[in-house]
Amino acid sequence: MKKAKRISDVPPYLFAKENALRDELVSRGVDVIDMTVGDPDIPTPAHIVQRLVRAATKPENHRYPPYEGTKTFRSAVSSYYRRRFGVELDPLKEVMTLIGSKEGIAHLIWALVDDGDIALVPDPAYPVYLTQVKMAGGIPYPMPLVSNRGFKPAFDDIPSDVAKRSTLMMLNYPNNPTGAVVDLGFFEEASAFAREYEIVILHDGAYLDITYDDYAAPSLLQVSGARDLLVETYSLSKPFNMTGWRIGAIVGSSEVIYNALSIIKTNLDSGQWNAIQEAGEEALESSPEEVIRANCEVYKYRRDTVVRALRRAGLEADAPKGTFYLWVPVPKGKDSAGFAEELLEKCGVLVTPGRAYGEHGEGYVRFSLTAPTERVEEAAKRISAERWGGR
């Protein structure tokens, strides 16, 4: 079989590989506590499920959905942005339904990146950014995220010749995998850089609502002006425990969404099922703040439980103000893959080596806090019984 060149240097998807390792260990009888994938274990709220059940019985929902998404779901997204961020969006021109934000991110990259174009990609980062730029024929230019800069890119370090060839910049805050957060001033700085070089910014807002300790994450679209270059994906997966439902939206520049992304999507997919969009409306309109607050309380407890255990074991561990991940420096003299193996061997805890997220992820491992609370507590108990030296 001949494979297309576009996938020749794209590795298997990170979490598919991790799932295979987990399954192999479990088959050998190892009691593995999986803290790799960010897949909420908390069930989707009952009122959202019930809305889907009702919507599934409607004959009009058994036909193709609108390519751009239903007007009612897009209006629900627009209303949520108004309440949550004070951002006004035209639901018919500045909002499009996505089949999960991963799909929208990948397809927007294909819509904006040509062979030889440069895309500015954080490192470390969600692997989809890098792989999709490569598959689109683009050249990823890494923006290092390092601890002494709060895991934020330094735009002044990007050479002007690179910036002039760049068509797209990826950002993601609260950040996966580091858990870093930013204020609106950071987005204003990013927007000014994008305006200077006419670069579209795609902000992956998957974790906008997963925050703690009185921190509220800003939206990129709160930046005034330059709306023609700014888009943001919003996902219902994390705040409403709906990863398997595959429902989200992209908001912002009408030109980017409807003159670029829509060309890919209308030729590739037929939209998300109307019944799921109705369930999405329910999530965004029926006391969403209560659902999000309850989820964040669970993750905060898990965060604090694991951070205490890591510190007792002699490891450095910060409590992030966003996401449900811990980005933990490995002990001095170890690399990320080796320390992940050691955690698995000694504690039966499966985490992700930081190097899997990029070159600048080396020296860290990522813990996901989406295992059931009793399993997180057991992982903490096992870890705290060990002793590791600091960096």
Token representation of residue 138: 């683009």
Is the pTM here over 0.85, yes or no?
Answer: yes
Q: Are 171 and 186 in contact (CB under 8 A)?
A: no
Query: Among candidates 227, 245, 252, which has minimal Cα distance to 282?
Result: 245
Report the pLDDT value the prediction gives residue 390, as an integer from 0 to 100.
52
Report the pLDDT value the prediction gives residue 13, as an integer from 0 to 100.
55
Buried b (16+ CB within 10 A) or exposed e, 103-142: bbbbbbbbbbbeeebbbbbbbbbbbbbbbbbbbbebbbbb
Mean pLDDT, each 10-residue run in order, the chain (391 residues)? 76 62 76 94 98 98 97 98 97 98 97 96 97 96 98 98 98 98 98 96 98 98 90 98 98 97 96 98 96 98 98 96 98 92 91 96 98 98 87 49
Q: Alpha-carbon Rg of the chain, whole angstroms?
A: 21
Report the pLDDT value the prediction gives residue 138, as an integer from 0 to 100.
96
Report the pLDDT value the prediction gives residue 389, as an integer from 0 to 100.
67
Q: Are 354 and 178 in contact (CB under 8 A)?
A: no
Report the pLDDT value the prediction gives residue 124, as an integer from 0 to 100.
98
The Cα 173–Cα 182 span in angstroms is 7
Domains and CATH numbers, the chain: 5-44+289-384 (3.90.1150.10), 46-287 (3.40.640.10)
Q: Are 206 and 176 in contact (CB under 8 A)?
A: yes
